[in-house]
């Protein structure tokens, strides 16, 4: 029984860490939304496998850059503008980033609740064993 509770805690902790990484990259995207030439960072989660078996844990995978085309912005006075007055903007969509941040926050909270439940079950198990 203890192994099950330990696994649940580890799964919850790995989920919280992965969502924290996701939130960090989302924050970077929001901070650089107006940076010319900035490409949105995307983080994917990977399932942790040990000995050919899934552990129930996740981890952040490689960070990829969104390959969506950068918008061309016309501003001849901008220092990065080319001869025709255009420069590459950022492909960050603030609405998408805010939605991602909220989803990461809610997933973090769900993992925190799962961790709390596993801890409570461990405490109850220890109370039963002491009797």
User: Does residue 70 carry a pLDDT above 90?
Assistant: yes
CA pair distance 14, 18, nearest whole angstrom? 6
Residue spans per domain, the chain: 2-118
Which tokens go with 69? 């085309």
User: Does residue 49 carry a pLDDT above 60?
Assistant: yes
Secondary element (H or E) of residue 75:
none
CA pair distance 63, 54, nearest whole angstrom? 22
Burial of 129 by CB count in 10 Å (0-12 exposed, 13-18 middle, 19+ buried)?
exposed
User: Does residue 93 carry a pLDDT above 90?
Assistant: yes
* Residues 66-83, mean pLDDT to the nearest whole number: 93
Tens digit of each residue's pLDDT (9 = 90 or more) over 10-25: 889 999 999 999 999 9
Half-sphere exposure of 32 (CA within 13 A, CB side): 16
Of the pLDDT bands very low, low, confident and very high (cuts 50, 70, 90), residue 77 is very high
CA distances to 7, 11, 27, 102 from 39, in Å: 37, 31, 13, 21
Of the pLDDT bands very low, low, confident and very high (cuts 50, 70, 90), residue 1 is very low
Q: Write down the pLDDT at residue 65.
A: 95
**Higher local confidence (pLDDT), 12 or 3:** 12
């Amino acid at each position: 029984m203890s192994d099950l509770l330990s696994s649940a805690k580890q799964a919850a902790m790995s989920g919280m860490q992965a969502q924290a990484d996701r939130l960090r990259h989302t924050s970077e995207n929001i901070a650089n939304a107006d940076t010319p030439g900035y490409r949105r960072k995307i983080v994917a989660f990977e399932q942790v496998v040990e000995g050919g078996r899934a552990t129930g844990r996740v981890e952040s995978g490689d960070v990829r850059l969104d390959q969506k085309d950068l918008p061309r912005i016309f501003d001849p006075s901008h220092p990065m503008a080319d001869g025709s007055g255009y420069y590459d903007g950022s492909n960050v969509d603030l609405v998408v980033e805010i939605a991602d941040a909220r989803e990461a926050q809610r997933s973090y909270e769900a993992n925190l609740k799962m961790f709390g439940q596993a801890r409570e079950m461990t405490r109850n198990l220890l109370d039963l064993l002491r009797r």
